[in-house]
Structure formats: C-alpha cells, structure tokens
Structure 1
Amino acid sequence: MTLALYILLAAGIAILYLWSSRKETRSLPPGPPKDPLIGHLRYMPTAQAPFFFHEWARTYGWYLSVTVCDVMHLQVLGKSMIVLDTLQAAIDLLEKRSSIYSDRPPLPLYELLGWTYMLSFMRYGKTFNRHRQVYQSFLSRESCAEFEPIQTQAARRLVKNLLASPTEKYGAVLSKFTTSILAQVVAGHKIDSDDDPYLELSKMVYQVFSVTGAPGGTPIDFFPPLRYFPSWFPGAYYAGVARAWRPEVRKLYDYPLECVQRQREAGNALPSFLLSQLEEIDNHASELDHEELKGAAATLFGAELPTRSAVAVFLLAMVLNPECQIRAQKEIDSVVGTSRFPTFEDRAELPFVECILQETLRWNPVAPLGVPHRSTQDDVYRGMYIPKGSLILANVRGMSLDESTYKNPTKFIPERFLPLPLGHGEPDFSCLFGFGRRRCPAVHFVERNLWIAIVSILATCTISNAVDEHGNVIIPEASMSDGVDSYPNDLRCVIKPRFEEVEALLEESILSPTA
C-alpha cells in the first residue's frame, strides 16, 4: 500500500510538470535557477520567506538587461508563483487589473480546517461580493464613528492593564484589548474576566495559524490529494494538524451566533453585528444565511491578530527609538494637556502621532506576505508572461524595504510621512491592508483601534528598556516571528506612568466614558 501511494504521488508530480512545461517558451518573469520536475521546491524557504523573496528579487530581478527587481517567477511542482516585490508592481496588477487578479487559489488545507465563508480566503465571485458588501456597509468610515466609545474605553483599560502587568503578560493584555472591542462590536459581549470564552477563542485562532503554515504554502496546497493521506505520509503532516484543530475552529463559528440568539430570545441582546444581521434575516433583507453569517463573524474576529501584533510592534519601536516617543508626547501635551485622555476629536491635530502609526505598519509589517491572489487568465506585464492560474504573492515586507520609495527603510523614521519640507513626503504604507477588490473592508475600523491604543499609551506611559538580573540594559532585537501573523520575537520592556496623576486619571476616565 505504501509503495502504491509513493507511485501515485510521483505520477501526480510528473503530470503537473508535463502540463506546466507546455507554455514555458514564453518570456516568464525572471527568477532563480530551478530543478527539472520539481522546480524551485528544494530552494523554497521554510522560514522568513518574505526576506528570502526580497533578496531573490534583488539578485535575479532582471529582464531584457534591465534591472526591475519587482516581479519574480517561481515554480513548485508545476505551479507558477509570481512574487511582486514593489508597491508599483502590486498596484499595476492587483488594482489596475483587478478583474483578473482578485481571485484566491484553492486552499485545501484551510478547507480541511473548516475555514468556510471567511472573506480573507474566499474565492472571488458572487458569494465574495455579497459578503464584502455586508462588511462595507457595517464598517464604512461613517459607521465606524459609532464604535468610538467602545474603542476609547478599551484603550483606557489597555493602559491600566499594561501598567499593572509584567512584561511577559503584555501579549495577553494586547489580545484582551483587541478581543474586547471585537466581542462587543460583533456579538454585543463585554469581557470582564481573563477567562472569558472569547479570549479562549482568540487564543485558539492564534494557535491554529501558528501551526498550519502560510496560506497556499503547504505541500497539501500544491498537491491537494495529500489531504486524504495519513499524517505520517511525506507531505501530509499538515493534514493531521488540520483534522486535529477542526473541532476547535468550529467553535469560533458556532459560539458567537448561539450566544446572541439566546440573548435575543431572552430579550437582553445588546446592539451588534450579529444582532443586526439576524434581524435582517428575519425580515428577508440580509445578504447572508445563518451559516454564512457565522463565517462573516469569524472573519471579523480574525482581525484581532494583526491589531494585537501591530500594537506590539509599536511598543518595540518606542523602546528602540525613545526620541520618537518623546517627540510624540510633546505633541500630545501641547494639544491635549495632561488632565484628560486623547480622543478621536484630537486626531487631526496630532500629525506626528499619525506618522508613528504609519511607520509602525511599515517598519515591521505584521502580515508580511498576506494571502496569495490567483490570476484567472493569461496576462502579459511589461513583456513578461504571467500564466493563468498563477499564485500571485504581494511581498509586503519587500515593499516596506523598497529603497526607491522609503529612504533608510530599516530605520524607524515617522517623519518620513510628513509633507515636505517638514518631512520626507513619502507615501503612507497602505498596502498592509491589501490591494484592489481584496483590500480589507475593515481598514477604517482597524486603523481606529490602532490609533486610539497608540495615542493613549503615549499620553500616559513611558516605555523604556528592561534590565536583566545583573542590571544590564536589555536592547531587544527588532525581529519578528514567522507565519501569517508576525509578532515581535522580543518584547521585553518596562511600561510606567508618565506622571503621578495617571492612575487617578485612569480610574476617572474608565468610570466616566466621557472623561
């Protein structure tokens, strides 16, 4: 039986190779040398792929004797992969030609996990458009203003919890901040304890993404029949992982809707996304059925991970760049003073804080590679042939390091976004939220969460280096974890009140939402 399985796998690879080789006479984008049959399989990075792709693009990114360094072709088991390493290439293809680059490839591993009706992974088509329309209505720029009281209170509790927690608990504190906002907005649920079921669901989502590999990047995604093989079979390891986690993923779908339905029947349901959609379903006005609604809510809860990670990156940046922290605090003091917390009404008057937000997103992107797109027809870009069905990878990490757009890209320089002559006049780093029809519909909501967290921490806290048991100052390395959600590997720091009145200000503002 084992021999038969090996023969089947080898035959499948050979067929894929022969099929893909038919069109290689056209001028594909440049890329590193590859092996017969398996292509670049032996050279594909097992970790930190965005950095490898960026270096490969710089090394092999030439075409017709002209250095382009922004479009690269890879091939694995007969499947073409196109890596876009600059913002301009991504805009040209994913936005200006979005009609043929908005699809997702099949993601067999995520299907096995049970990630159904998740907008991030959904194939492009009528179902995708229906879901996106629901999000755009609920999370429009105007609608997001309704969530400001929830976000503001969560940010103040975030500050209180950071000040009361040791360094090793900061990750849990950040997760509680983001999850508390989402639980209230999505399900009308207020988190009051550290063992809240929604916090457990949030922890589960993080664990699942950390053990299942990059979307579209596992052996099962390249050779789908592996999903049916036992986990001990070569290449089928992730199938076993997915089967083990599938029941936990299902809880994320079922629990929120079941809770809101029970509260609705009892007459004590608070306003939320799920409640409004249930009412529309009853009135035959919703675009979604109950199962799709579960997936829509799960998609929104998925926004917890990048928000949590981005606030962590901000803390890391402030430890390593204290001069930026001091400058931002002076700006806040001049506009807000020290007798109250900043509010969303202050945002337009705090341009340097806005720059810190943008630089946090650029300096260490929390979604460095994102989810691959898929080309739905053959295309030619600047003379380079892009085959139908190619995986299109927007290397966000590579874009953040593009020296033609961002000077000294490895440095944390918030003023790069200020207009000339005050700053460098460099463009905002909006590509973290995706491109074209795949751009995250929750972008305004997520940015508001990040801004109120950052400005609240800066207004009331001093973030400084931790020291070890020998009294030596710890300088954390600015490196990030691997995977879909990238998080600082070292977040050791000390967060203390900026002034004596902070504790009293916190108590007053948390008790009085208008403070």
Structure 2
Amino acid sequence: EEHLIAKNTCATAFEGGADTTFSTIQAFFLAMSLNPSIQKKAQAELDAVIGPHRLPNFRDRASLPYVEAVFKETLRWHNAMPLGVHHCAGEDIEYHGYFIPRGTTFTANTEVYCRACLHDPEAYTEPDRFLPDRFIREGKLDPDVRDPRDFVFGYGRRICAGKPFAEIEMFLVVAMTLHVFDITPPLDESGNPILIEPKFTGSFLLYPADCRCTIKPRSAEAEALILEGVQSSNGPAA
C-alpha cells in the first residue's frame, strides 16, 4: 500500500507540473528571442562563472544572480495557470463576515490576484515589459523586490506540492539553455527575422500564442557540451 501511495504521489506531481512548466519555458524562449540584450547579459554571467567546459548545475544557482533574475521575471511576466483549482468547504466557514456553508465550491481568483500583484506598477516599473534587472541591486538579488514565487505557485496549505521540483527544473532549463544556445527570432522564407508579438492564449492554462524562434549552439565548445549531455542522458552505449 505504501508503495502504491508513493507511485500515485509521484504520478500526480509529474502530471500537475508538466504543462505548467512547459508553458513557463515557452514564455522564457519567447522572452529571450524578443530581448537579445538581456540574453547576452545572462550569457556573460554564465561564461564568467561556469566557463566553456561544463554545464551549469543547481549548486551554481547562488553564483548566478542575473540568471536567477531572468527566471523570476519569466514567472512574473507570464502566469501559466490563471484560473486556479476548485476547492470544497469541508465545514461551515465564516470569512470576513461572509458565511460559507459546508459543501460550497470555491476557488482563488488567481488571474485577478496575480495580475494585480505581479503587474502592479507601484511594485514593478513598466510591468508589461520583460525586465530582469528589476530584481538586481548592486550586482545582487534585491530582497526588497516582491518575489513572484510568493504568488504563482498558489497559497497557504494548498500551495503547489511540486514547487521545489518545478523551481529546480525551470532554473536549470533556463541556465543550461542560455549557456549553450543563442535564441533569436524565427526567419521568414527570405531569411528575414519575424517579429513575434507576445500574446497568450488558453483557458485553464495559458500558453504563448506564438513562441517560434531560432535556436543555435553558441560555439563549437557549446555544441560539444550539448552532445555530451545528450549522450550522458541516454546512458552508456551497449
């Protein structure tokens, strides 16, 4: 029975985080293709801290404040799950003068709440722009800036159970991708860049309406790291 519970828990964590993580990573690729100067700044930090001979790992996170800021800004800029999840009152509740009888279905108004918090012009200058520098002060993460992770993973006892897994996974995707790839706009048939307008679509989950881009290895050394990573993930040859 314990083994079955463990299996079901792992399956739930995977299923619950797969689409939301995918949506956020799509938004990251879109943001990088639209903001080459931000991409170059993050890559410069990775080059200085990591160097050309290995991929970044989770132990490097504290040494990569600008990459961390790019990750935070991705979460702030794009809310992957605006509708939240429905809950049911297990007993009669009184909340701020409102009586909620047992059995009532309710949900947090995540779209309005997150939009108000994460696109608040008093907390974030030019909130609709992708600006990771808003989280940086004197070369370090600014603890006084509102952290989007306080909102995007839910609230209270019902906060996303996969939050630690999702954070690690998304940070590593951001760091590894920027370390070895250049992300640029897609090209038309004549080889001219196509300007993608940042729009999002969906209902329960939101995705970029168009996140096409061009992805190329940054260098021969980066290409070697990519191949090494692929071979390592596939395991030793038979």
TM-score with structure 2 setting the length: 0.83
The verdict on how the C-alpha distance between 1:465 and 1:421 changes in structure 2, with shifts beyond 3 A counting, is closer
User: Which residue pairs with 1:468 in the alignment?
Assistant: 188
Matches within 5 A, 1:340-419: 340-373=54-87, 376-380=92-96, 385-388=97-100, 389=104, 391=106, 392-395=108-111, 396-419=114-137
Identity of aligned residues (%): 36
Gaps of 5+ in 1: 1-280
Query: Which protein has the bigger strand share?
Result: 2
Structure 1 contact 401–410 (Cα < 8 Å) conserved: yes
Tell me how far apart the structure 1 counterparts of residues 86 and 198 of structure 2 sit (CA, whole Å): 26
Q: How many residues align?
A: 222
Aligned-residue offset at 1:486: 1.3
Structure 1 contact 415–423 (Cα < 8 Å) conserved: no
Tell me how far apart the structure 2 counterparts of residues 345 and 297 of structure 1 sit (CA, whole Å): 24
Structure 1 contact 463–495 (Cα < 8 Å) conserved: yes
Structure 1 contact 479–489 (Cα < 8 Å) conserved: yes
Structure 2 contact 180–225 (Cα < 8 Å) conserved: no
Mean Cα displacement is larger for which, 393-402 or 461-470? Answer: 393-402
Structure 1 contact 358–429 (Cα < 8 Å) conserved: yes
User: Which residue pairs with 1:112 in the alignment?
Assistant: none
The verdict on how the C-alpha distance between 1:511 and 1:493 changes in structure 2, with shifts beyond 3 A counting, is closer
Matches within 5 A, 1:270-349: 281=1, 286=2, 290=4, 295-302=8-15, 303-349=17-63
Q: Specify the code of the residue in structure 2 equivalent to 1:379.
A: Y
Structure 2 contact 196–210 (Cα < 8 Å) conserved: yes
Aligned-residue offset at 1:476: 1.0
Tell me how far apart the structure 2 counterparts of residues 377 and 481 of structure 1 sit (CA, whole Å): 35
Gaps of 5+ in 2: 234-238
- SS at the partner of 2:54? coil
Spell out, residue by residue over 1:344-385, the C-alpha distance to the aligned partner (whole angstroms, 9 max, x if none).
2211100000011111011011112322455651222xxxx4
- SS at the partner of 1:462? strand
User: Which residue pairs with 2:176 in the alignment?
Assistant: 456
Tell me how far apart the structure 2 counterparts of residues 502 and 422 of structure 1 sit (CA, whole Å): 27
Q: CA RMSD in A?
A: 2.4
Aligned-residue offset at 1:414: 0.7
Structure 1 contact 312–491 (Cα < 8 Å) conserved: yes
- SS at the partner of 1:378? strand
Aligned-residue offset at 1:422: 6.1
- SS at the partner of 2:175? helix
Aligned-residue offset at 1:295: 4.8
Tell me how far apart the structure 1 counterparts of residues 26 and 136 of structure 2 sit (CA, whole Å): 23
User: Which residue pairs with 1:273 in the alignment?
Assistant: none
2:160 to 440, 444, 447: 440
Residues 1:427 and 2:146 are matched in the alignment: yes
Aligned-residue offset at 1:432: 0.8
- SS at the partner of 1:404? coil
Q: Structure with the greater relative contact order (CA < 8 A, sep ≥ 6): 1 or 2?
A: 2
Tell me how far apart the structure 1 counterparts of residues 99 and 216 of structure 2 sit (CA, whole Å): 55
Tell me how far apart the structure 2 counterparts of residues 458 and 317 of structure 1 sit (CA, whole Å): 12
Tell me how far apart the structure 1 counterparts of residues 226 and 51 of structure 2 sit (CA, whole Å): 15
